[in-house]
Amino acid sequence: MLNRVILIGRLTADPELRYTNNGTAVTSFTLAVDRMRSNANGERQTDFINIVVWQKQAEVVAQYLQKGRMAAVDGRLQIRTYENRDGQKVRVAEVVAEGVRFLDRGEGGNSAKSAPTAPSAKNSPPSAPSKRQDFDPYDDPFADDLPPEFDEELPF
């Protein structure tokens, strides 16, 4: 059925990139999403929402986002159940991101981390840096398999 979540918030910490046993990249981070209304005491309230990103975007996110950065996430809400070390069933909610937009650096583009040293041992960023000045991590990872709606005229 339908399951769509759209969020804008700030990373509470640097994203963490890991790999599954199959070698698939997965990045996770937490987004602090301020509620649009304060409570009766005028206190701002915030939802801390866990985000998971897979594959190419996982690596782009790990490379370009860091703590405090603002991002938009477009994905689906997933409830995962696992057993913790006490044998108790724990339910966690997370948003599986299909798209992640970086929102507060540059004007329409995104600048990479300064990265004087390699970002992380597990992180293998694309060796050839993007030649596009306004490199767009939401866009590029799929540039090879462009679907027809971006490429073909409508026949009507």
Partner DNA sequence: TTTT
Residues that bind DNA (CB under 7 A): 9-13, 30, 32, 34, 44, 46, 48, 67-68, 81, 89, 91, 107-108
Going by their DSSP bridges, the two strands 70-83 and 16-19 should be labelled as unpaired
Q: Return all residues near 117 (Cβ < 8 A) that are at least 6 apart.
A: none
Phi, psi values for residue 30, rounded to 5°: -115, 135
Is there binding between residue 83 and its own copies (CB under 8 A)? Answer: no
Positions 117 through 146 that interact with its own copies (CB under 8 A): 136, 138-139, 142-143, 146
Going by their DSSP bridges, the two strands 89-102 and 46-54 should be labelled as parallel
Q: What is the DSSP letter of 111?
A: P
Q: Is residue 44 within 8 Å of 37, Cβ to Cβ?
A: no
Is there binding between residue 9 and its own copies (CB under 8 A)? Answer: yes
Binding residues (CB under 8 A) for its own copies: these are: 1-10, 16, 18-22, 24, 26, 28, 33-40, 45, 47-49, 52, 54-55, 70, 72, 74, 76-80, 91-93, 95-96, 99, 101, 103-104, 107-108, 136, 138-139, 142-143, 146-156
